Amino acid sequence: MTSLIHPSDTSTQQRARTYRDHQRPLWQRVLFSRDVAVWAALVVVYLYASATVPFFDRPITITYLLLDVAPILLIALPMTLVIITGEIDLSVASTVALASVSFGVLYDKGAPIVLAAVAALLVGVVCGAFNGFLVTVVGLPSLAVTIGTLALYRGIAVGLLGTTAITDFPDGWTDWARGRIGESDIPSIMIPFAVLAIAFIILLHFTAFGRGVYAIGLSEGAARFSGIRVERTKLILFVLAGAVSALAGIYYTLRYGSARGDNANGMELQVIAAVLLGGVSIFGGRGALPGVIAGVLLIGAIGSALRLADQTADVINIVTGLLLVVSVVGSSVLGWISSKRRRRGAPEPQHDSTGSGTTGSGQTEPGNTLTDTDGPVGERERDDR
Amino acid sequence: MATAAPGTVALELRDVSKTFGQVVALSSGSLTVTTGSIHALVGENGAGKSTMVKIIAGLYRPDGGTYALFGEAVDFRTTAEAKDAGIAVIYQEPTLFPDLSVTENIFMGRQPRGRLGRIDRKAMDTEARALFARLGVPIDPERPADGLSIADQQIIEIAKAISLDARVLIMDEPTAALSGVEVERLMTIARALRDEGRALVFISHRFDEVFSLCDTITVMRDGAYVSTDRIADVTVDDIVRRLVGRDVDDLYPKQEAEIGEVVLEISGLTRAGLFHDVDLQVRRGEIVGLAGLVGAGRSEIVQAAFGVDPYDAGTVKVNGKKVPPNDPAAAIRLGIALVPEDRRKHGLVLDSTITRNITMAIRRRLSRAGLLSSGAEVTTARDWASRLEVKTTTLDTLAGTLSGGNQQKVVLAKWLSTRPDVLIVDEPTRGIDVGTKAEVHRLLSELAGEGMAVLMISSELPEVLGMADRVVVVHEGRITAELNREDATPEAVMYAATNTQGASA
């Protein structure tokens, strides 16, 4: 070791140790990830439903499926980040409703539609900022805060319009919201969604901000001591959740041509269910956006297939509910089994147990030989909680 | 009550082994402990002590070898079976139910029943009081466990062990987080238990404690038994040589460094109730030791200076530039790095990879046009991991699975990668083995030699005296002495750390 601070010396210095970057090759890490498992489940459900449910394989099914899940897809993006930091936002569907009503009322009162849309987005930003303020500045738990604002925002929305609805919107806008891209079967709303999805994927997976989001979810203390601005990060995420919910609210209004206080009732649960199904841990720190997108589509596809098979909404709810419980319980059970096996000393303990495909086949690679008997395993400090 | 005559073999492990996949955690562990004895078990981190303790406690089942209790071979499947056989393990950080009372914690799961099967609170309370009277410790059995010091929590674990009439007590690094007085109290209790005829195993990295408390010592290295001796027959040097398998010529390799201008300047730093009017300067090339008792406010001072904790008054400057309060990101940018006291909670994200941990504080600097690539992270992490000789095969190993010493190297790598001008280290060698300790000391010394300003908090007096150019002593949140290397004797430091009067700067 000649110099520790100055990097120029390291090129000539002989390395004491060499490291492999990863325990498993890239294809294994990708293939055995939770994201791929959810996508695979989506493909299986799609193929099975196409083969067994009448009319499911028609292109129109995909069009309507995407139109229906578009608001959930949109809101799931910021919700994923919020849940990865270990927080939750239950007020998103109420924000959808409040933005929808604000949009409708302003347009109804004669405001230009663009202005009404911008104002609705601002309403969403304010809703999110209020949640974020209560969580980060006042220091209240987000679960309690957003249960409160769930009722508050919904209450304001219903109060503004009562039981009436505003249904008169410009045809150009409503047609676009129901329309498709050119001659394809893909709805137009998928364009803004794709743009947002790419933006959120970059934000979460390819920026310093995103690294901070994961760190906060895994250890808030360590994040703070590393110079990550925990409060600011969470505030930004709540504002994003509010803004995107408002965008979904505008879309929802135009798609159904109706601004009502009870729009998107209960949608927060669908969003959270899809996010968790997509592999995001409710305890924070784990999950990725590709899996979440597949999770939303999976829930949508199952619902759509059951509807086409003439099942009632109750059955659809029961099936999606069960699916969620199985997926959450399933990953917990898998984690428990692998930690149990680790404790009993069956497979090599360094491997992470998050991937759903890696049920501990004891993958040991040639490189993992005797060189390191002194290191990681012998004295992991008390892993026996 | 333990009835066996002193000198009976209580616990005997012979050639016990345990492997995890291809990694051998314990190749041949042997340990023979007799009743009425305190037996020291020493070894570097990774030597297999903890694995052996977990086998004794029934948490792991050995792959090979024999394990006998009072002459009978045993094979525990669960920790409950081991407990029933009279084995108790006291961990460094006990896990109590914080909301329950001390008494309820002691009798958890086996509360005495009165009429109609109701819990007999009176009997429980009487027995708890009797236990504490016997241990000579004034803990109120009715208070909640929450808020008790780690030392008191350990006493409760010991009380629990006695009420279960444990015949073999294993203390796994119990003193690592205790202050001097608390260590004394624990040692008194340990001696009393020995005199009752129980067998005790004491694991510690601190040789002064081992030599004053224990009568027999077993050394382990690389997962294998090395030697067992009566403590009177060996010296610290013998033991250290056996521990590392070579001579550790110098545990405190302090180099002479050229001391330059002031880099870190703390003036008048105050936070009501914690610390007052703290003035502190650290110069280029200088190692300043911040000494004092546990709880004197040393960690609070540096955490406030770094910005993770607030302060009421005062200023912090680095290279003449003011560091804004409550903003660790700004402190990092201005060149401060803090290796925190609590490695597992504040130093590392345990469930994250080595790579992500090392690059966590420089993730913005690694970004190009706002984008951060895994490639850049891995390159940087590989570079720093190899400079600090982190022992691992792959960089996506989770930090939580590394040994204590290797975890500390990852934390150091993380902070050195920020290229700080001031490195603050809070208990840099707590809970790490002798070999790694010497490595950390050499590293700090080299860094100072290269012109870094180092501020080191340590509760180990030899470390402070061995490493520091200047020792600043804190007592109850105030600086009570500032001693140059030549004036810093153990007596002078302890005097200032315990008594405000008479100590002059």
Inter-chain CB proximity A215 and B450 less than 8 Å: no
A316 within 8 A of A323, measured Cβ to Cβ: no
Cα distance between residue B59 and residue B91, in whole Å: 14
Domain annotation covers residue B434 = no
Domain annotation covers residue A363 = no
| Phi and psi torsions of B500, nearest 5° | -75, -35
Regions of chain A with pLDDT less than 70: 1-17, 331-332, 334-385
pLDDT at B23: 66
ipTM above 0.95, yes or no: no
Domain annotation covers residue A367 = no
pLDDT one-digit tens code per residue, B229-280 = 999 999 888 887 787 765 555 667 777 778 899 999 999 999 998 899 999 9
Inter-chain CB proximity A367 and B393 less than 8 Å: yes
What CATH number is attached to the domain comprising A235? 1.10.3470
pTM of structure: 0.74
CB neighbour list of residue A215: distance below 8 Å, 6 or more residues apart? A222, A223, A226, A228, B349, B352, B356, B360
Domain annotation covers residue A17 = no
Both B89 and B164 in one domain: the answer is: yes
Inter-chain CB proximity A22 and B396 less than 8 Å: yes
pLDDT at B461: 79
Domain that holds residue B229: 9-96+148-244
pLDDT confidence bin for B169, thresholds 50/70/90: very high
Domain annotation covers residue B424 = no
Inter-chain CB proximity A227 and B387 less than 8 Å: no
Cα distance between residue A251 and residue A75, in whole Å: 12
- Number of independent structural domains in chain B: 2
CB neighbour list of residue B370: distance below 8 Å, 6 or more residues apart? A207
In chain A, residues with a C-beta closer than 8 Å to the C-beta of B366 are 208
Cα distance between residue B11 and residue B313, in whole Å: 57
pLDDT at A16: 56
**Of residues B94 and A87, more confidently modeled:** A87
Domain annotation covers residue B354 = no
pLDDT one-digit tens code per residue, B402-453 = 888 889 999 999 999 999 999 999 999 887 777 788 889 999 999 999 999 9
Domain annotation covers residue B484 = yes
CA dihedral of B165, B170, B176, B177, whole degrees rounded to 10: -30
pLDDT confidence bin for B110, thresholds 50/70/90: confident
Domain annotation covers residue A296 = yes
A130 within 8 A of A142, measured Cβ to Cβ: no
Exposure string over A371-384, b if 16+ CB within 10 A, otherwise e: ebbbbbbbbbbbeb
- Taking alpha carbons only, the member of B155, B220, B177, B190 closest to residue B18 is B220
Both B50 and B181 in one domain: the answer is: yes
Kindly list the distances between the CA atom of residue B29 and the CA atoms of A29, A169, B12, in Å, as whole numbers in the listed order. Answer: 37, 80, 10
**Residues 218 through 257 of chain A touching chain B, CB cutoff 8 Å:** 218-219, 221-229
Both B236 and B295 in one domain: the answer is: no
Domain annotation covers residue B386 = no
Both B65 and B214 in one domain: the answer is: yes
pLDDT at B159: 87
Kindly list the distances between the CA atom of residue A301 and the CA atoms of A178, A180, A192, A292, A307, in Å, as whole numbers in the listed order. Answer: 19, 19, 21, 14, 10
- Taking alpha carbons only, the member of B96, B102, B61 closest to residue B82 is B61
Burial of A51 (0-12, 13-18, 19+ CB in 10 A): exposed
Both B79 and B219 in one domain: the answer is: yes
B26 within 8 A of B223, measured Cβ to Cβ: yes
The reply to whether A7 touches chain B by the CB within 8 Å rule is: yes
Highest mean pLDDT among A14-18, B116-120, B344-348: B344-348
Cα distance between residue B220 and residue B212, in whole Å: 20
Encoded tokens for A270: 């669908």
| Helix, strand or coil, per DSSP, at residue A131 | helix
Burial of A94 (0-12, 13-18, 19+ CB in 10 A): buried
Nearest by CB to residue B419, choosing from A5, A227, A379, is A5
Domain that holds residue A98: 33-329
Inter-chain CB proximity B352 and A215 less than 8 Å: yes
Domain annotation covers residue B331 = yes
Inter-chain CB proximity A206 and B363 less than 8 Å: no
E strand or H helix at B208: helix B207-213
Helix runs in chain A, H state only: 26-31, 34-52, 59-84, 92-108, 113-132, 142-161, 171-178, 190-205, 208-218, 220-225, 230-256, 267-277, 289-308, 313-344
pLDDT at B123: 86
Nearest by CB to residue A5, choosing from B26, B46, B452, is B452
- Taking alpha carbons only, the member of B456, B407, B397 closest to residue B433 is B407
What CATH number is attached to the domain comprising B473? 3.40.50.300
pLDDT confidence bin for B21, thresholds 50/70/90: low
The reply to whether A18 touches chain B by the CB within 8 Å rule is: yes
Domain annotation covers residue B325 = yes
Residue whose pair of structure tokens reads 């039981």 in the numeric block: A163
Q: Which residue, B244, B276, B303, sits at the end of a domain?
A: B244
| Phi and psi torsions of A95, nearest 5° | -65, -40
Which range (A39-43, A138-142, B169-173, B293-297) has the least confidence?
Answer: B293-297
pLDDT at A74: 97
| Helix, strand or coil, per DSSP, at residue B24 | strand
Both B66 and B157 in one domain: the answer is: yes
Domain annotation covers residue A334 = no
Nearest by CB to residue B382, choosing from A19, A212, A362, is A19
Kindly list the distances between the CA atom of residue B381 and the CA atoms of A68, A202, B205, B412, in Å, as whole numbers in the listed order. Answer: 45, 22, 30, 12
pLDDT at A380: 35
Query: Strand order of the sheet with strand B321-322?
Result: B275-283, B262-271, B313-318, B321-322
- Taking alpha carbons only, the member of B43, B42, B44, B49 closest to residue B26 is B49
Domain annotation covers residue A92 = yes
Inter-chain CB proximity A17 and B390 less than 8 Å: yes
Most B CBs within 10 Å: which of A232, A377, A383, A385, as the mutation test of the B interface?
A377
Percent of chain B with pLDDT over 90: 42
Say whether pLDDT at B112 is over 90. Answer: no
Encoded tokens for B147: 């808020």
Domain annotation covers residue B308 = yes
Cα distance between residue A263 and residue A257, in whole Å: 11
Kindly list the distances between the CA atom of residue A111 and the CA atoms of A105, A119, A124, A169, in Å, as whole numbers in the listed order. Answer: 9, 10, 18, 12
- Number of independent structural domains in chain A: 1
B172 within 8 A of B92, measured Cβ to Cβ: yes
Both B200 and B291 in one domain: the answer is: no
Q: Which residue, B244, B271, B304, sits at the end of a domain?
A: B244
Q: What is the mean pLDDT of chain B?
A: 87
Q: Which residue, B218, B244, B270, sits at the end of a domain?
A: B244
Domain annotation covers residue A377 = no
Query: Strand order of the sheet with strand B470-475?
Result: B336-339, B422-426, B453-457, B287-292, B470-475, B478-484
